[in-house]
Amino acid sequence: MNKKIAHVTLLVKDYEEAIRFYTEQLGFALLADNAFGNGMRWVVVAPAAGSETAIVFVQADSSDKLERVGSQAANHVFLVVHTDDCRRDYEAMKSRGVHFFGEPRDVPWGVEVVFEDLYGNRLDLVQHNGF
């Protein structure tokens, strides 16, 4: 049986600000933005249009969800973004105002650097060396 993870849910405060950050600052593709009335939307972004796994934004609509915006994995990396050139993407994203925790560094599995989204969720930008 062929299975895969298609979507990961990310709690956001506001759809529009999340779309702007992920598309304009991170360079992600907006795959879907469908309104269904009564404030319901299906908003999907991914690192590239052909990505197998994408992020679905869910607007926090309760105090419990609002408390978790920006800390879905506490202070640990929540998502890993693969790239073919970590240093190139680091420079591009940094020039667009993305906050990084250090600079890209060589690690046994390739090159990596951690950054955060507009809410403080940590993401890992990784260039694998074939490992």
The domains of the chain are located at 7-128
Continuous segment of H or E residues that includes residue 103? strand 99-107
pLDDT in tens, 68-119: 999 989 999 999 999 999 999 999 999 999 999 999 999 999 999 999 999 9
Number of neighbours of residue 51 by Cβ within 10 angstroms: 15
Q: Which residue blocks in the chain are alpha helix, DSSP H?
A: 15-20, 63-68, 86-95
Q: Give φ, ψ of 71 to 5 degrees.
A: -140, 40
Number of neighbours of residue 83 by Cβ within 10 angstroms: 18
CATH 1.10.1740.110 fits 7-128, yes or no: no
**pLDDT for position 117:** 97
- Spatial separation of the C-alpha atoms in residues 57 and 37, rounded to whole Å: 16
pLDDT in tens, 7-66: 999 999 999 999 999 999 999 999 999 999 887 899 999 999 999 999 999 999 999 999
Number of neighbours of residue 111 by Cβ within 10 angstroms: 18
- Spatial separation of the C-alpha atoms in residues 25 and 41, rounded to whole Å: 22
For every residue of 14-50, DSSP letters joined together read -HHHHHHIIIIIS--EEEEEEEEETTEEEEEEESSTT
**pLDDT for position 131:** 54
Stated pTM of the model = 0.93
